[in-house]
Amino acid sequence: MKLILTQQVGGLGAAGDVVEVKDGYGRNYLLPRGLAISWTKGGEKQLQMIRRARSTREITDLETARGVKSRLEATPVRLPVRAGQAGRLFGAVTPTDIAAAVSQAGGPEVDKRRIEVTTPIKTVGSHSVTVRLHPEVEATVQLDVVAS
């Protein structure tokens, strides 16, 4: 089955890539979740729009990515959240919350899809979060989660 990815899928490709996958994987996973659309002649126009949006969002230059990495790692990020008395959060910290906290702290704009949270953040304290800026550049952001 030939599909056009609308979002980045780990191990498969990035948004705008045309991929060939097994029928069941495409039909039961990628298409229902909106991660891909069927490849058609009309889909080529959507493919161009996706690639254009991807190019504006992406950091293409390695030097620019390294500059953004240094700015991210130098920026102290504090995220106030609702928490119980034992320090456990009501819910978890999401990549969207982290992206908003980075921009409020004066850091560079970070796409929430680039933020990788390895273990769910459900407690108050200091946590490390990885931001994949470029295929060769990863930034580690120190996130200080505090009760509000």
**3-state secondary structure string across 93-145:** ECHHHHHHHHHHCCCCCCCHHHEECCCCEEECEEEEEEEEEECCEEEEEEEEE
Percent pLDDT > 70 in the chain is: 95
Model pLDDT for residues 66-89, shown as the tens digit of each residue: 888 888 888 889 999 999 888 899
- For 97-126, letters b (16+ CB in 10 Å) and e give bbbebbeebebbebeeebbebeeebbebee
First to last CA, the chain: 49
Q: Reply yes or no on whether the pLDDT at 51 is more than 90.
A: no
Q: What is the pLDDT of residue 53?
A: 72
Give the model confidence (pLDDT) of 106-143 as tens digits: 888 888 888 999 889 999 999 999 998 877 888 899 99
Q: Would you tell me how many other CB atoms lie within 10 Å of the CB of residue 88?
A: 12
In the chain, count of helices (H) and strands (E)?
4, 9
pTM over 0.75: no
Number of alpha carbons in the 13 Å side-chain half-sphere of residue 9:
21
Q: What pLDDT shows up at residue 59?
A: 60
In the three-class reduction of DSSP (H, G, I as helix; E, B as strand; rest coil), residue 14 is classed as: coil
Q: What is the mean pLDDT of residues 37-56?
A: 75
pLDDT at 103 over 70: yes
Q: What is the pLDDT of residue 55?
A: 66
Q: What is the pLDDT of residue 13?
A: 85
Go through the domains of the chain in sequence order and give each one's CATH number: 2-57 (3.40.5.10), 62-147 (3.10.430.100)
Q: pLDDT band for position 100 (50/70/90)?
A: very high
